């Protein structure tokens, strides 16, 4: 059993959760993820590790309540337990001395990009970060990203905070004005797709973090298969990071939509009164 040590509300739909998982915390690296199960009847869902602390034996996840399981997860409180947490899974992110790296986090993707951006900065890279969200109340980790970034740009779809527009707006200006050695983009599929279209025009290597529908997280079920460079890859064991210029985003979009109706099922669990 994995105890929940803390829960924080980051926005109306987004929460952070600190979980006691000593073995995972000792081995975790930026870019890796876990697969958790709330109870014996719960489904397995993958969530990226936002932070980890080997000394306290804890890991932090950040999630958005969008479906039945994440809404049920959001009802748990400090002192509750999860029945299963498996990890760390997947290959760590590319953390090496590169030069200037643009790190882009769209929506909850900001939670995923943060540990990698921090690690890149710690070894001496210049980190330019872009956070994109639908509106001001969906912007997360601004303070944390600002501390580890040489520049931070914030965009919102409705213009309620930062710059009105999408992440590719400041990205185009950055790529035009300065030398960039690598772009890392994590967020909605459509966002990563258009980031890659733009960076390909500038011939800038681009890494994306794919989170397709997973079941077992060990490569046995094949649910998370994606096409990268005309080859079939499993995001759980071959990724989750891939060369964005080689990813078939249209296929990925279609595959991720195959359980749309099931995800709309109402959560029948109730919060404690």
pLDDT tens for residues 68-119?
A: 899 999 999 999 999 999 999 999 998 999 999 999 999 999 999 999 999 9
Helices (H) and strands (E) in the chain, counts: 9, 16
Cα angle for residues 45, 46, 51 (degrees, 5° grid):
130
Query: What stretches of 10-99 adopt beta strand conformation (E)?
Result: 14-20, 33-37, 45-53, 58-64, 81-82, 84-89
**3 state SS of 114:** helix
Q: Which long-range contacts (CB under 8 A, 24 or more apart) does 15-19 make?
A: 15/62, 15/63, 15/65, 15/74, 16/50, 16/60, 16/61, 16/62, 16/111, 17/60, 17/61, 17/62, 17/63, 17/73, 17/76, 18/58, 18/59, 18/60, 19/58, 19/59, 19/60, 19/61, 19/82, 19/85
Domains parsed from the chain with CATH numbers: 2-89 (2.40.30.10), 100-209 (3.40.50.80)
Q: What is the pLDDT along the chain (273 residues), one digit of tens a residue?
A: 899 999 999 988 899 999 999 999 999 999 999 999 999 988 888 999 999 999 999 999 999 998 889 999 999 999 999 999 999 999 999 899 999 999 999 999 999 999 999 999 999 999 999 999 999 999 999 999 999 999 999 999 999 999 999 999 999 999 999 999 999 999 999 999 999 999 999 999 999 998 766 776 777 777 788 999 999 998 888 989 999 999 999 999 888 776 555 555 655 555 443
Q: Is the pTM of this model over 0.75?
A: yes
What is the torsion angle, in degrees rounded to the nearest 10, for the CA atoms of residue 19, residue 21, residue 24 and residue 27?
Answer: 100
């Amino acid at each position: 059993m994995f105890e929940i040590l803390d829960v924080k509300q980051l926005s109306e739909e987004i929460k952070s959760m600190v979980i006691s998982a000593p073995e995972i915390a000792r081995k975790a690296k930026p870019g890796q993820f876990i697969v958790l199960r709330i109870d014996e009847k719960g489904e397995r869902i993958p969530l990226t590790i936002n932070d980890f602390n080997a000394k306290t034996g804890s890991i932090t996840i950040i999630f958005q309540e969008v479906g039945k399981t994440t809404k049920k997860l959001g009802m748990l409180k400090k002192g509750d337990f999860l029945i299963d947490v498996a990890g760390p899974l997947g290959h760590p992110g590319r953390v090496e001395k590169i030069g200037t790296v643009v790190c882009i986090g769209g929506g909850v993707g900001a939670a995923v990009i943060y540990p990698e951006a921090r690690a890149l900065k710690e070894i001496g890279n210049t980190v330019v970060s872009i956070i994109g969200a639908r509106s001001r109340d969906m912007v997360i980790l601004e303070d944390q990203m600002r501390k580890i970034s040489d520049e931070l740009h914030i965009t919102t779809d409705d213009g309620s905070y930062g710059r009105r527009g999408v992440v590719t707006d400041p990205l185009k200006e950055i790529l035009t004005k300065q030398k960039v050695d690598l772009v890392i983009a994590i967020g909605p599929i459509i966002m990563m797709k258009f980031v890659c279209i733009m960076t390909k025009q500038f011939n800038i290597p681009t890494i994306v973090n794919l989170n397709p529908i997973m079941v077992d997280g060990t490569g046995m079920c094949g649910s998370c298969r994606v096409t990268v460079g005309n080859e079939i890859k499993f995001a759980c064991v071959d990724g989750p990071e891939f060369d964005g210029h080689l990813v078939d985003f249209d296929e990925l979009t279609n595959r991720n939509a195959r359980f749309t109706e099931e995800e709309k099922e109402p959560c029948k669990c109730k919060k404690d009164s």
